[in-house]
Chains A and B, each alone.
Chain A
Amino acid sequence: MSCFRLENVSYRYDKSLVLHGIDLRLEPGEILGLFGHNGAGKTTSIKLILGLMQPTQGTVSVLGGQAGDPQVTQYIGYLPENVMFYPQLTGREILSHFARLKGASLRQVPALLEQVGLGDAMDARTKTYSKGMRQRLGLAQALLGKPKLLMLDEPTVGLDPVATADLYRLLRDLRDEGTGIVLCSHVLPGVEPYIDRAAILTEGSLKAAGDLAALRRQANMPVTLSLDPAHSISALEKVIDSAATSSGLMIKTDNGRLRVDVQPREKMALLQTVMASGEVADVSIHQPSLEDIYVHFIGSGGLAHRGGSQ
């Protein structure tokens, strides 16, 4: 049973097409990063999965049922972007209220508050909470009742580095227990080590989806080799020049090292040649990061958009 499955989903708001032809699925025990600039359709996709809206076209199935069905939503945890709560109630009262609504055990409430680090503040009114504390309470709320599908929109906003690391560790544990998790974030380097798959949305359509290796292959972006010459930099340059069969290879020198951009399929051949020549003392390899891949798929127009957020 998939956590959710979107099949050829389109959504129209008034006249404009917000989503078109989205095919996306999430299996249990998987963390999916959902990326895209503001207005790309991330929130709309999440709302469709939550059953807050009906797709104009296509089918959305969630946890083997229909999106929005109470039997289904009971097993979904959701943390909205900029989560807000009743200011006059305490953290414990709010979490108890939501636990009752979800049919979760009230005994979970203090334990969850401890887990997200609100143990000392649970009896203070949430109007005294900082942004980070509200975010933690939002997280506790999403974890009520052991969700099978967890959707987190910008979960790390307002969290300090230690809390962020705690959060990711927690998500990993939940993943290992079989929870399917969707992470929306603009902090790409932050989430990169934790996601199993990424989906990149632009202007309502899915630009790319898959694990990082597959996305790298699809993007076909050059790999950067950083080489330390064994004897002299010019000798090393000569070796590379002679080995280079393809065009578009770039060579730059900075503080005694040589940086070479190479197409992924030619990487091994070049490495072998360099190694055999004995002109290299040390090598490090830089794969394109999630951010590089994201920029590649979004295009430079997307980069401008991205500047406005986060």
Chain B
Amino acid sequence: MNSIWTIARKELSDSLRNRWLMAISLVFATLALGIAWFGAAASGQVGYASTPATIASLASLGIFLIPLIALLLAYDAIVGEEEGGTLLLLMTYPLSRSQLLLGKFLGHGLTLALATLIGFGVAGVAIALLVEDVAITNLAVAMFRFIASTVLLGWGFIALAYVVSVRVSEKPIAAGLALAIWFFFVLIFDLMLLGTLVASEGKFNAELLPWLLMLNPTDIYRLLNIVAFGDTGQLSGVLSLGADLPIGAAGLWIGLVLWFAIPLAAALLLFRNRRI
């Protein structure tokens, strides 16, 4: 446990030193405040629209940004150490490969969690203070849900980045594959699902179809933040399939947890079998 924390501690202090933590927090805070302020612009006025609409907009932007940041943060976790020449040295210390990877995960995960908490937390407090007659409890619950699911989504993509990082032997390849992962889950997946829907002309098993959304963590994340308000009318595009998903919010949370637990387990397994 001590060595896991030693590795995590170095990652955390690295992200403080290179100002990643600060930069991500700033981006999140700016984004959240911007959306809160200009959320009602579509209806012709500047001001706070409503908590559900703000959260839905944030979640829609979040699915682009959070996976990207998580992948950037973590893609060189192992391959970077190898190229830097420190992996071999680390492995001669009383430190197992699993401990190294878990330490990295703890460090990167905490960095992302802190940035999310600071960035969106500050925005949440600002909204609560500055917007008149906003339902505070309502906002607090929604913000908490949003922050928690954002952290889980980020962890999922950190774990996916590790799967790449323990497999490849060059940093540029890892970066390319990380971008491909982002491209697939954020852009391609929904298009493919939509294409399947259209092409099958309704002949596809209607029971099975909504479950396909569970194959994409970004879809689970969006569902979680929109469905929670009980307003399925906000669901657009393929997400409307989610209204038929018979698992409720708890199931979606479990889905997000599995989406970081399984890739992390896979990365640990692959790393253990890697030749150094």
A-to-B contact residues, CB < 8 Å: 50, 52-53, 70-71, 73-74, 76, 78, 80, 82-88, 97-98, 100-103, 141
Contacts and interface: CB of A to CB of B under 8 A. Distances in A.
Most A CB contacts (10 A, CB to CB) among B92, B96, B276 go to B92
A85 B93 CA distance: 15
Given A88-B14, A88-B17, A88-B18, A73 B6 contact: no
Contacts of A88: 14, 17-18
A271 B262 CA distance: 79
A102 B17 contact: no
A97 B89 CA distance: 12
A79 B17 CA distance: 28
Interface string B117-151: 00000000000000000000000000000000000
Contact of B6 (A80, A82, A100): A100
**Which 7 pairs, one residue from A and one from B, show the smallest C-beta to C-beta distance?**
A84-B85, A70-B94, A100-B6, A78-B92, A101-B93, A74-B94, A73-B94
Nearest to B7: A101
Nearest to B91: A52
Nearest to A75: B94
Contact of B94 (A52, A53, A86, A102): A102
Interface string B247-276: 000000000000000000000000000011
A101 B94 contact: yes
Nearest to B96: A70
B84 interface: yes
Contacts of B86: 84-86
B88 A97 contact: no
Most A CB contacts (10 A, CB to CB) among B85, B86, B93 go to B93
A192 to B, nearest CB: 27
B88 A80 contact: yes
Contacts of A73: 92-94
A172 to B, nearest CB: 24
Given A97-B10, A100-B6, A101-B3, A86 B92 contact: no
Interface string B1-39: 011001100100010011000000000000000000000
A101 B90 contact: yes
Nearest to B80: A86
B259 to A, nearest CB: 31
Nearest to A76: B92
Contacts of A141: 89
Most B CB contacts (10 A, CB to CB) among A85, A97, A141 go to A97
B192 interface: no
Contacts of A52: 88, 91-92, 276
Contacts of A97: 6, 10
Contacts of A103: 2, 94
B84 A84 contact: yes
A76 B18 CA distance: 33
